[in-house]
Amino acid sequence: MLFQLSEEQLMIQQAARDFAQHELKPGVIERDEHQKFPAEQVKKLGELGFLGMMVSEKFGGSGLDAVSYVLVMEELSKVDASASVVVSVNNSLVCYGLEAYGSEFQKEKYLKPLASGQQIGAFCLSEPEAGSDATSQQTTAEDKGDYYLLNGTKNWITNGSNASTYLVIAQTHPDLKHKGINAFIVEKGMEGFTIGPKENKMGIRGSDTHSLMFNDVKVPKENRIGEDGFGFKFAMKTLEGGRIGIAAQALGIAAGAYELALAYAKQRKSFGKPIAEHQVIAFKLADMATSIEAARMLVYKAAWLKDQGLPYTLAGSMAKLYASKVAMDVTVEAVQVHGGYGFVKEYHVERLMRDAKITQIYEGTSEIQQMVISREILR
């Protein structure tokens, strides 16, 4: 197997690393403290082509591969997971779904501004009574001939207030269950569409997470994605790629915490020598480095399979399951290596630990990934 990144991939990785250090790191603690959305930084990410990385240039994207995408996600997440989740959602869920399954009209009108970074999007699946169970959609879309009448509530929506375009999953034919679900493109400002208060979260506090309410929202027929009843399949196919992005985010959070812990352990002295030279700390660092490298191989493999057009459901779920566990374990140990300093904000690791937990929850909990993995290996 060849593990060497191409020259172009290395350049993209370096560009993302530079952006994270020079654009995201200044102010990241303040944004976390005040739950401030990184609007200025997201705009610059769009200008760099990071919001539509895998979209073809025809539709305003960068035309890059999935491996380049996870490299960017990893570097950004080392510093600011609130910014990287915007990149993840816009790339993996919104742009991918529109390019893969949208009509030419939808690509021209919606995909181009999303892929070029002029706008950002949101993916609206979770509900108060339907989180991981995507088949139990309570949001309804009644077919009225020329339009659909959308009613319901969506929960935990990333980019909830800053998005311009929303991909909304809703039930049209309840008697058909999951085969009666559709996916729709909803624009901010449509009559009857309101955005609820921002959630006060433990982690990724700069990311704007909201509930969305739809009250008799008229959605034009041409805004339905795919054939009637395609919505459930659309959501599942889109989420497969989303897991790779979140796995890369988890990898980045872990790697960022490890790099901070390693640097601190080299300069912090105890009993006359750097604490990194004490076996108890050195062994922690060794375990952290090993688990991160293992997670990295899983994430890169899943992205590589996607680039090759090969099945990646199993690899993506394995990457997401393992990398999110590594993110949680490594960030906890990074705080421990820092001792009392790890408990205060200025050293960053406590924030990374709080951010790590969400990677075990969104895009399907760890238990959901275990279900997917077991289903695939038992076939």
* Shared-domain flag, residues 334 and 357: yes
* Shared-domain flag, residues 245 and 351: yes
* Shared-domain flag, residues 152 and 272: no
Residue percentage of the chain with pLDDT more than 70? 99
Q: For residue 301, what are its two tokens?
A: 């493999």
Residue 73: inside a domain: yes
Give residue 131's domain range: 122-229
* Shared-domain flag, residues 207 and 245: no
Annotated catalytic residue within 75, 227, 363, 376: 363
Give residue 134's pLDDT: 73
Domain end point (choices 200, 229, 258):
229
- The string of pLDDT tens digits covering residues 182-222 is 999 999 999 999 999 999 999 999 999 999 999 999 999 99
Q: Is 57 helix (H, G, I), strand (E, B) or coil?
A: helix
CATH number where 210 lies:
2.40.110.10
Question: CA-to-CA distance for 291 and 134, rounded, in angstroms?
Answer: 32
On average, the pLDDT of the chain sits at 95
* Shared-domain flag, residues 349 and 369: yes
For 43-180, list the strands marked E by DSSP.
121-124, 140-143, 147-158, 165-171
Number of domains in the chain: 3
Least confident of 108-112, 299-303, 373-377: 373-377
- The string of pLDDT tens digits covering residues 269-326 is 999 999 999 999 999 999 999 999 999 999 999 999 999 999 999 999 999 999 999 9
Give residue 268's pLDDT: 92
Give residue 31's pLDDT: 97
* Shared-domain flag, residues 262 and 334: yes
Give residue 135's pLDDT: 78
> Is residue 99 flagged as an active site residue?
no
Domain end point (choices 214, 229, 244):
229
* Shared-domain flag, residues 104 and 130: no
Residue 13: inside a domain: yes
Residue 276: inside a domain: yes
- The amino acid sitting at 69 is Y
Residue 107: inside a domain: yes
Asked whether residue 150 carries a pLDDT value surpassing 70, the answer given is: yes
Beta bridge partners of 210: 157, 198
Residue 1: inside a domain: no
Residue 343: inside a domain: yes
* Shared-domain flag, residues 137 and 93: no
Beta bridge partners of 219: 148
Give residue 128's pLDDT: 87
CATH number where 295 lies:
1.20.140.10
Residue 92: inside a domain: yes
Q: 379: pLDDT confidence band, cut at 50, 70 and 90?
A: confident
Give residue 1's pLDDT: 61
Asked whether residue 364 carries a pLDDT value surpassing 80, the answer given is: no
Asked whether residue 164 carries a pLDDT value surpassing 70, the answer given is: yes
* Shared-domain flag, residues 164 and 221: yes
Residue 2: inside a domain: no
* Shared-domain flag, residues 263 and 373: yes
Asked whether residue 132 carries a pLDDT value surpassing 70, the answer given is: no
pTM: 0.95
* Shared-domain flag, residues 63 and 108: yes
Roughly how many angstroms between the first and final C-alpha of the chain, as a whole number? Answer: 26
- The string of pLDDT tens digits covering residues 215-253 is 999 999 999 999 999 999 999 999 999 999 999 999 999
Q: For residue 221, what are its two tokens?
A: 């027929």
Give residue 217's pLDDT: 98
Asked whether residue 256 carries a pLDDT value surpassing 70, the answer given is: yes
CATH number where 53 lies:
1.10.540.10
* Shared-domain flag, residues 173 and 105: no
Q: Which residues contact 53 (CB under 8 A, 6 or more apart)?
A: 61, 62, 64, 68, 69, 72, 91
Domain end point (choices 173, 198, 229):
229
